[in-house]
Structure 1
Amino acid sequence: MAERPETGSRVLLGRLRDAMAGDVEGQARLNKITHLIADSMGCEVCSIYLFRDDETLELCATEGLNQDAVHQTRMKVGEGLVGLVARRRSVINEPDAPQARGFRYMPETGEEIYSSFLGVPVQRLGEALGVLVVQSRAARVYSADEVYALEVVAMVLAEMTELGAFVGEGAAMSARHSQPAMFRGTVGQEGAAEGHVWLHEPRVVVTNPIADDPVREIERLREAVEQLRVGVDKMLEIAGAQDKDQAQVLEAYRMFANSKGWMRRMEDDIGGGLSAEAAVEKEQSLARARMGQVTDNYLRERLSDLDDLSNRLLRILTGQGKDTGAEMPANPILVARNIGPAELLEYGRSLRGIVLEEGSVGSHAAIVARALAIPLVVHASRVTTEALNGDQIMVDGEQGIVHLRPDDTVVTAFRDKIAMLAEAQERYASIRDKPATTACGNTVGLFMNAGLMADLPSLPSSGAEGVGLFRTELQFLVRNQMPRRGELVALYKRVLDAAGGKPVVFRTLDIGSDKVLPYMKPNDEPNPALGWRAIRVGLDKPGIMRMQLQALIRAAEGRPLTVMFPFVAQFEEYREARRLMEKTLQAEERLGHPLPETVKIGAMLETPSLGFAPMKFFEEVDFLSIGGNDLKQFFFAADRENERVRRRYDTLNVSFLSFIESIVERCDKTGTPLSFCGEDAGRPVEALCFAAIGLRSLSMRPASIGPVKSLLRRSDLGEVRKVIADARHRGGMSVRPAVMEWLRNQG
């Protein structure tokens, strides 16, 4: 490893550490740093700009510019050369800054007399914290060693920011991880919860970013990397015997763990004055910054692999992380970048809520959260960088809002909301065993959705008349290999036993789109939601479907069996699936297995095309269930994962409601039982409108049955029907305003 010159980063970091050893706080500490950097690098100017909010940078300290501009000069990301460094998260090295494209003249700083400009981003694990700048009167390009030195100092600045080095009297910044914070995300599972943060992967804090002895630090790094390699090899050995796809992922891990380039870069960083931990984190920060700019899925996955390996290496070096012995707090709310279904199931019902930075409303984690009835918010950007284990946190799964370390006003309002929800649930308990019979004498069947055995205890307490949808894919998603037929038989039997004679509608395997089995080779599809999924997979791989149908038949043990096929887009798909079911029944009879007392075979209507299928389809199908979540996104061509468009389209939009009504009319003509299944079925106003246009069966999460039943029992469907008809006649886009006004008038 080549030694860096004495004017390089190691000497600068040494001076920086010595200067910081004194009892200096906040603004004085930042001022000292800018003076040191300018002096060490022979520059007239050194300035530190820090983020005040996501879009605004503020001049927080300077050596060489006008001191009156400190805390007064602000700029937006992308504004001026400093703003460009922040936006691009990359170095800008300009010999003649005033003539450079993007330069912005700020007269209050007096910087117009300085020609050369070198700016580097201050960032930690992909989180932008600010920009570090040096300037000189002479027009020159800063050398590679000077650029490197400033980057290393920026890295240390980021760590010092994390450790709270710039807070205190006259602070340049407020203390991190101490102020109230609010995050807006996407609703993954409704509900409200208060508790304390439990980080799925606790952040590793580097407390010693600067090191004296590079030889010792390199030795520590090499020992830790060797331990990492041994660990990856062991995992690969186990996976290779059990799971080829998992082994492929671990092969990529091993490739990175043995990467000479990765090792060389970290050793160079140590040579520049960083500790082993800081060197790992510097490379990890660069990888995360690249990850945010890469659109290619393969490259993103590889950068994600490197990020995970860096976390493992940091845990080895620091002894921090998952196995620190920390106890889970009371009322834990899980906070994570993302989490797999199996890991989430390990936590089980001990969690009060879940907050994810990534994920989606249709992800495996969201499916498990719904099954466990745990409030979930996804896309809560940057929550893992702000939250600490034990922090007070409130999750509003109705609005997709997370309050971290909330102030007293928020706490009071949130607790009032939780109390109101609890009071309402007590009221609903009084009508639990009563039918959902409207004021005009119509009865609507209310059923619950389920996907785990853990759901079934909710059946009697919810007031549901049965299970309108049992998602069978969860048992396939939470394991690393295909479940065996015997395992499925035992599971489905337990489900039917737990239902206690109430009907259960089993939906066959609904995989594909965002539900990819870990042991099936994923298909690289440009639009998976419209691709090879659900019934299409089942018909192309009849062996899997046949195995599942056999398990369902054997689990019934002579009891009635109800099965429906998901994502049917045309009549022939249903016919082909039904023929497979009939052949399986015949084969089971030949094998001497008892057949179900009755078998009902239905389909999920999730594509607009099936609503226009020939009447013969409606005559042949035993029952239909409208899958509202998928149907709505295809009807409006609005991806339900895309916040920009999904909220634009209302379920009570006149055109969508008219389409649902046309399906009701066709089913009425053929006597085909019809239900509506999905999140909208559990929203009281939507459920009331569905009942008004003729739907007599709704399936929803257990907690929604009480509020839906309560509203139905107090409403006259004839009056609601008239309100809907009047709204259509007036040409409104949605019937919601008219229905809400009618409800208010009803008190």
Structure 2
Amino acid sequence: MAERDESESRKLLGRLRAALAESSAGQARLDRIVRLIAGSMQAEVCSIYLFRDADTLELCATEGLMQGAVHRTRMRLGEGLVGRVAQAGTITNTANAPAEPGFRYMPETGEERYSSFCGVPIQRLGETLGVLVVQSKSQRELTSDEVYALEVVAMVLAEMTELGAFAAADVTPSHRQAVMIRAVSGQEGTVAGHVFLHEPRVVVTKATTDDPVAELSRLRDAVDTLRFQIDEMLNKARGLNGEQAQVLETYRMLAASRSWLRRMEDDITSGHSAEAVVEREQTATRNRMAQVEDAYLRDRLHDLDDLSNRLLRILTGQGKDTGAKMPIDPVLVAKNIGPGELLEYGKAIRGIVLEEGSVGSHAAIVARAWSIPLIIHAKGVMAAALNGDPIVVDGDQGIVHLRPDEVVERAFGEKIAMQALAQERYSSLRDLPATTADGQTITLNMNAGLMADLPSLESSGAAGVGLFRTELQFIIRNKMPQRSELSALYARIMDAAAGKRVVFRTLDIGSDKVLPYLKPQDEPNPAMGWRAIRVGLDKPGILRMQLQALLRAANGRPLSIMFPFVAHPSEYDAARAALDKVIAREKILGHCLPESLDVGVMLETPSLAFAPAAFFKKIDFLSVGGNDLKQFFFAADRENERVRRRYDLMDPAYLGLIEMILAKCAAGHTPITFCGEDAGRPLEALALAAMGFRSLSMRPASIGPVKNMLRRIDLAAARELIDSHRHKGENPRAALKSWLMVQGAL
């Protein structure tokens, strides 16, 4: 760009800054801005369109169009040239607007006189806030320098819109509006609280500069700091696996890119501040990411996005530790979060909302253990939320209400109050058995994975721990735990159980549970790949170490061990043989062996249900892992929201599979438990008990509602109702629900 153009661009930014600094009302500011831009661009028309809601743009200020159209002219996203610019997030620059596809004439604006059109999206970090438009009577396309100047102005407008500079113009900043986000439920429950951001977004408050030389120096110093930080991370990563070092090498290469730095330096010469040009680069990167399908290119663009974010934090000083105080009712909002980071927050967290995540992620496991609502795939929540914002998390429906209005707050307040009353009622049942009206007693166990879960054993009224997930202790560490550490932990768990049975499931990693220090496997379908007992048998040293730790932790007490994801009897035989070798070795070493030892398996694949009768006779117990079994039975990935809700525990075919498994266990006199999310849902728990399960294992918070249901119904009558429908190929869910309502049990 020529020196004159750069100077004119800086002059325009200077005038804008002066207009924005005035104490005039928001509408007066907008009006002054469009006059300044029209005059500077020598255009007859300059207009600013901002989003009224997620799908509607509104003309908020204009120089050249009819003033009566302001705040009256609206268009849907994708409608007309303005709507197309907003939808695509790209610039439209044409000499003959009426000839463009999608052109829409708005008669109240009087724009029929203007032929040329240039629309530039007003964007911030990939989010389009509106459109800046200039129009002229003469048929001409703007030059690249003129378009660039409009991009510069649009970025300043984006910052000012978000900071509330135009609030008095009936343009509410998006961070003050009520927002509802439809997402995916990772854990049921409803909670109201206030936002606590795991990694708050950087707020750029200084968009322009009068001293480009000083800003260039700031930018270069910040880039040097960034490169130093990456070198430091590389030095630390050399002792870890090669993949981490490879990622950081890519970061270092990108941070050293001259073209990346040159683009930002060029923007500074036009009058931008250092942080503004970095954010502009980040916005451009995110726009490219949204349009690129190639996975490798997307990864590289994601790396650039992350580098820009790191650079912004260096320039603004807005690190992760912002000094923001955690509210008394915090709902954690994050793009994603690891189990170690989540555990650092502790049980003070009321709920969790993630932009990414999965129903089987580490965060979901911890959320279920803590019985707190979790929402995943909440697109845009990080951009929309600020620390301290009121928030309602509806984990039952998978909906987030950010800054809810009074009607929503009141409705959810009543719902939460009713849930609290129900919990009081459930607590009164804590010491009573789950005995049905026809005298059948169901043993209700809890699932756990952390030492912090054990207090729930007494408070929930659980009979024992039907599943202790040992992998969490591996996942939250940066290196493989020592045998002595595991032994001490398992001993503390058994101490805390105070004689109640704890079933320890051996390491269940793979699929969505990845150890940071174990080389990841590049598998097209990890849920059906190298995981759980398959890893243990292929890595006998890990399995042996864990079995030794469990035997030593028992120290003469009864011990129950369960092998996960056994798909074939031979896998159980191999795992049991490994355990027998460890027992023999422990005996030689003179260590105290368990008083009794129960060794079982978790049935999670349909194949094991068809194992011969001899298999069911030789195992000590069996636990049906309902979450995986259902997804494999229906070939429906439980991480895929499009298909996972289509399939139901009460499907006649699935109930037939369960009936067959129960019959085989009964014939072999093999104790059987159902473990999974369905066990903790009262209606499903009733169906399982009616089919024949006398032991269920679930999250602690579900024990009260399930016990309350079971104590009020006749299992034989429920089974008769279920059979009458499933034998006709009908799903009995609706009929069972209606029957319970008639019984007054729902």
Stretch deviating more after TM superposition (121-130 or 12-21): 12-21
Do structure 1's residue 179 and structure 2's residue 177 form an aligned pair? yes
Q: What amino acid is the match of 1:744?
A: M
Secondary structure at 1:335's aligned position in 2?
A: strand
What is the match of residue 256 of structure 1?
254
Cα distance between partner residues in 2 of 1:4 and 1:591: 86
Cα distance between partner residues in 2 of 1:514 and 1:82: 43
Q: 1:640 aligns with which of 622, 638, 645?
A: 638
What is the match of residue 586 of structure 1?
584
What is the match of residue 497 of structure 1?
495
Equivalent residues of 1:4, 1:272 under 8 A apart:
no
Do structure 1's residue 665 and structure 2's residue 663 form an aligned pair? yes
1:307-706 pair list within 5 angstroms: 307-706=305-704
Offset at 1:704?
0.6
What is the match of residue 101 of structure 1?
101
Secondary structure at 1:5's aligned position in 2?
A: helix
Secondary structure at 1:34's aligned position in 2?
A: helix
Q: 2:736 aligns with which of 729, 739, 745?
A: 739
Equivalent residues of 2:6, 2:269 under 8 A apart:
no
Cα distance between partner residues in 2 of 1:2 and 1:520: 55
Cα 1:3–1:576 shift into 2, 3 Å: farther
Q: What amino acid is the match of 2:32?
A: K
Secondary structure at 1:237's aligned position in 2?
A: helix
Offset at 1:4?
6.5
Offset at 1:670?
2.0
Q: What amino acid is the match of 1:740?
A: K
Cα distance between partner residues in 1 of 2:516 and 2:8: 48
What is the match of residue 9 of structure 1?
9
Cα distance between partner residues in 2 of 1:542 and 1:2: 69
Cα 1:613–1:9 shift into 2, 3 Å: farther
Q: What amino acid is the match of 2:470?
A: T
Post-superposition Cα deviations, 1:31-64, rounded to whole Å, max 9, x if no partner, equal 3322322222223333322222223333333333
Equivalent residues of 1:30, 1:172 under 8 A apart:
no
Secondary structure at 1:440's aligned position in 2?
A: coil
Offset at 1:298?
4.1
Q: What amino acid is the match of 1:340?
A: G
Cα distance between partner residues in 2 of 1:555 and 1:729: 48
What is the match of residue 164 of structure 2?
164
Cα 1:7–1:316 shift into 2, 3 Å: closer
Offset at 1:194?
2.7
Secondary structure at 1:417's aligned position in 2?
A: helix
Stretch deviating more after TM superposition (308-317 or 350-359): 308-317
Cα distance between partner residues in 1 of 2:683 and 2:564: 26
Cα 1:626–1:4 shift into 2, 3 Å: farther
Offset at 1:437?
1.3
Cα distance between partner residues in 2 of 1:96 and 1:532: 60
Cα distance between partner residues in 1 of 2:65 and 2:340: 55
Offset at 1:74?
3.2
Offset at 1:647?
2.3
Post-superposition Cα deviations, 1:193-248, rounded to whole Å, max 9, x if no partner, equal 33222111222211110111110111111122222222332333233345554433
Post-superposition Cα deviations, 1:514-560, rounded to whole Å, max 9, x if no partner, equal 22211223233332222222222222322222222222222222222
Cα 1:657–1:57 shift into 2, 3 Å: farther
Q: What amino acid is the match of 2:141?
A: V
Cα distance between partner residues in 1 of 2:3 and 2:575: 70
Offset at 1:465?
0.9
Cα 1:268–1:659 shift into 2, 3 Å: same
Offset at 1:3?
4.3
Cα distance between partner residues in 2 of 1:372 and 1:699: 15
Alignment RMSD, CA only? 2.3
Do structure 1's residue 153 and structure 2's residue 150 form an aligned pair? no
Offset at 1:629?
1.5
Secondary structure at 1:48's aligned position in 2?
A: strand
Stretch deviating more after TM superposition (699-708 or 385-394): 385-394
Offset at 1:112?
4.6
Unaligned runs of 5+ in 2: none
Secondary structure at 1:177's aligned position in 2?
A: helix
Cα distance between partner residues in 1 of 2:586 and 2:297: 48
Cα distance between partner residues in 1 of 2:439 and 2:663: 20
Do structure 1's residue 79 and structure 2's residue 79 form an aligned pair? yes
Stretch deviating more after TM superposition (81-90 or 423-432): 81-90
Q: 1:278 aligns with which of 269, 273, 276?
A: 276
- The TM-score with structure 1 as length reference comes to 0.94
Stretch deviating more after TM superposition (260-269 or 323-332): 323-332
Cα 1:479–1:251 shift into 2, 3 Å: farther
Offset at 1:744?
0.9
Cα distance between partner residues in 2 of 1:10 and 1:616: 84
Secondary structure at 2:509's aligned position in 1?
A: coil
Stretch deviating more after TM superposition (715-724 or 658-667): 658-667
Cα distance between partner residues in 2 of 1:18 and 1:318: 23
Percent of aligned positions that are identical: 68
Stretch deviating more after TM superposition (304-313 or 508-517): 304-313
Offset at 1:731?
4.3
Secondary structure at 2:496's aligned position in 1?
A: helix
Q: What amino acid is the match of 2:116?
A: S
Post-superposition Cα deviations, 1:374-407, rounded to whole Å, max 9, x if no partner, equal 3222222222222222222232323323333333
Offset at 1:703?
0.7
Unaligned runs of 5+ in 1: none
Cα distance between partner residues in 2 of 1:173 and 1:583: 73
Cα distance between partner residues in 1 of 2:49 and 2:606: 53
1:196-345 pair list within 5 angstroms: 196-242=194-240, 244-345=242-343
Cα 1:436–1:80 shift into 2, 3 Å: same
Q: What amino acid is the match of 1:557?
A: N
Cα distance between partner residues in 1 of 2:579 and 2:287: 51
Secondary structure at 1:395's aligned position in 2?
A: strand
Q: What amino acid is the match of 2:604?
A: E
1:706-745 pair list within 5 angstroms: 706-729=704-727, 731-732=729-730, 734-745=731-742
Cα 1:131–1:537 shift into 2, 3 Å: farther
Stretch deviating more after TM superposition (65-74 or 280-289): 65-74
Cα 1:575–1:118 shift into 2, 3 Å: farther
Equivalent residues of 1:203, 1:321 under 8 A apart:
no
Cα 1:109–1:524 shift into 2, 3 Å: farther
Post-superposition Cα deviations, 1:689-738, rounded to whole Å, max 9, x if no partner, equal 10000011110000110111111111110110111122225543x21111
Stretch deviating more after TM superposition (4-13 or 349-358): 4-13
Stretch deviating more after TM superposition (483-492 or 21-30): 21-30
Secondary structure at 1:123's aligned position in 2?
A: strand
Post-superposition Cα deviations, 1:353-384, rounded to whole Å, max 9, x if no partner, equal 22112111111111122223332222222222
What is the match of residue 56 of structure 1?
56
Cα distance between partner residues in 2 of 1:75 and 1:617: 67
Cα distance between partner residues in 1 of 2:184 and 2:138: 51
Stretch deviating more after TM superposition (716-725 or 30-39): 30-39
Offset at 1:6?
4.6
Do structure 1's residue 130 and structure 2's residue 130 form an aligned pair? yes
Offset at 1:83?
2.8
Q: What amino acid is the match of 2:24?
A: V
Q: What amino acid is the match of 1:250?
A: L
Offset at 1:8?
5.2
Offset at 1:671?
1.9
Secondary structure at 2:238's aligned position in 1?
A: helix
